[in-house]
Amino acid sequence: MNKVVLLGPPGAGKGTQATRIAAKYNILHISTGDIFRKNIKEGTPLGTKAKEYMDKGLLVPDELVCDLVEDRVMKEDCANGYLLDGFPRTVFQAEHFDKFLKEHGDELTMVLDIEVAEDILLPRMIGRRVCRNCGKPYHVITMPPAKEGVCDVCGGEVYQRADDTEETVMNRFKVYKDQTSPLIEYYTVSGKLKAVDGAKDPDDVFAGICELLGE
């Protein structure tokens, strides 16, 4: 059973790779960002709280995240394994989750760090668009939908996330550096970390990941 964490700066392609990994290894893709966006869309109390932070590019407080993920991975659809995309984001979350797994006689299989330099990421992120309905990712320059603003797959609206604007993106980088990048050290020490070069073409990145996870 694969229990994998995907790490990497904002815009490194975690979402794109996660979809492919989940399909190939038949494990559940859990994106905390998607869970929060769904809650915002549905107007739940969690969504209302999370939105305050997300729109500014800040992290949602740890106490709103840990239980959410720990409850989620206990569900039956995670029995074959799961891929965490966007969690943990802080050392507190990582320690909390490790402790939770240990209490269940379990541990992570691997932490994949998708490495990409910041100067490549900024243009990638500002051009990023996503389908509001099915979540398919697009890019205004490198991967536009056939018809502007309309999803190729489901016909849903293709839009720019509020947290992909330049100011918010700069904030998210800072937050990543200060709060999330210490996880690289944390998982190196625990021997779980494997790095892949995320500057390459998405197919090559995926091939590198498959080599690490095994065919």
Binding site for ligand AMP (CB under 6 A): 10, 32-33, 36, 53-54, 57-60, 65, 86-89, 93, 163, 172
- Which position among 89, 124, 129, 192 bears the catalytic label? 89
Catalytic option among 49, 72, 161, 200: 161
Q: Which residue of this chain has its Cβ atom nearest to ligand AMP in the complex?
A: 33
| Complex with ligand AMP: residue 147 or 166, whichever CB lies closer | 166
| Active-site residue flag, 172 | yes
Taking the least distance from each CB to ligand AMP, the nearer of 37 and 192 is 37
For the CB of residue 180, give the shortest distance to ligand AMP in the complex, in Å.
Answer: 9
Backbone angles phi, psi at 112, to 5 degrees: -100, 120
The neighbouring-strand residues paired with 60 are none
Minimum CB distance to ligand AMP smaller for 43 or for 146? 43
Tell me which of 128, 129, 136, 192 is the catalytic residue: 128
Decide if 80 contacts 26 (C-beta within 8 A): yes
How do beta strands 137-139 and 128-131 pair?
antiparallel
How many other CB atoms sit within 10 Å of the CB of residue 179? Answer: 17
3-state secondary structure of 17: helix
Q: What is the DSSP string of 26-72?
A: T-EEEEHHHHHHHHHHHT-HHHHHHHHHHTTTPPPPHHHHHHHHHHH
Distance, CA of 86 to CA of 107 (rounded, Å): 18
C-beta of 98 vs 163, nearer to ligand AMP: 163
H or E element: which one contains 125?
A: helix 118-126
72 is catalytic: no
Tell me if residue 20 is catalytic. Answer: no
Shortest distance in whole angstroms from residue 7 CB to ligand AMP? 11
Q: Which sequence positions are flagged as catalytic?
A: 14, 89, 128, 161, 172
